[in-house]
Amino acid sequence: MIETGLTNKTVIVTGAAAGIGKATARRFAAEGCRVASWDVKDGEAEASGIFQKVDVANAASVEAAVEEVMRHWGAIHVLVNNAGILRDGQLVKIRDGAIAGIMSDEQFDSVIAVNLKGVFTCTRAVVPRMIASGGGAILNASSVVGLYGNFGQTNYVATKAGVIGMTRVWARELGKYNIRVNAVAPGFIATDMVKAMPEKILEALRGRTPLGRMGQPEDIANAYLWLASDAASFVTGAVISVDGGVVTGT
């Protein structure tokens, strides 16, 4: 059995009310961590943890939540930047030779605010406390589409590719403080939201995955746990694809 070294460590998980975020909060809690679950929606605290209603795109909201975590436990060892939203649409949609739609400023800006700036805002707030705690791990949610692109997701892909860039910059900047920074790029994951899609679409997603199935939220949670653990102590600046073998063009 691998010794993770995570017992009694303080972990923040954003977007923890449901899906991958909730599975991640549960996984760290099961490892004996003190987990602060953040979400803009209502949610529940894990065992020996707290739930905080936090807007990751709002610096004041994030700073207040970080201060509350510090009051509870006095240290922050792991940050999982998982929160994200979708506002899909084509850049320009043409029908019968005429413009039938475009991606709006609101669609673009709202996704950038949560998925990209939210990662920046949370990390900026946590890093000084993490340095004071002697180091730690920052884990960022990218996506396979951040590596390969995807039709109808200009905004989302831009954020997930940007997260990879920030991950690599921070790995360089923060290594001297014993802070490791890595990203996980999930493939098609069977969250409740995804499972509500029509069966025809789900079958197509499974068909694009060489392992022949969709991933579970726990698959991503396990990757985050490993990256945060002592078992990955020499891993930083990496992007780990957890996607069942999905590759561009499949």
Structure tokens at 186: 């999930």
Phi, psi (5° rounding) for residue 77? -110, -30
Of 148, 156, 177, 224, catalytic:
156
Nearest residue to 75 via CA among 12, 165, 167:
12
Nearest residue to 76 via CA among 135, 10, 121, 167:
10
What CA–CA distance (Å, rounded) separates 192 from 20? 10
What CA–CA distance (Å, rounded) separates 158 from 115? 9
177 as an active site residue: the answer is: no
Half-sphere exposure of 58 (CA within 13 A, CB side): 10
Alpha-carbon distance values, 56 to 31, 59, 66 (Å): 25, 7, 11
Alpha-carbon distance values, 18 to 78, 144, 151, 193, 211 (Å): 19, 20, 26, 9, 25
Kind of pairing between the strands at 34-39 and 50-53: parallel
Phi, psi (5° rounding) for residue 163? -60, -40
Known catalytic residues?
156
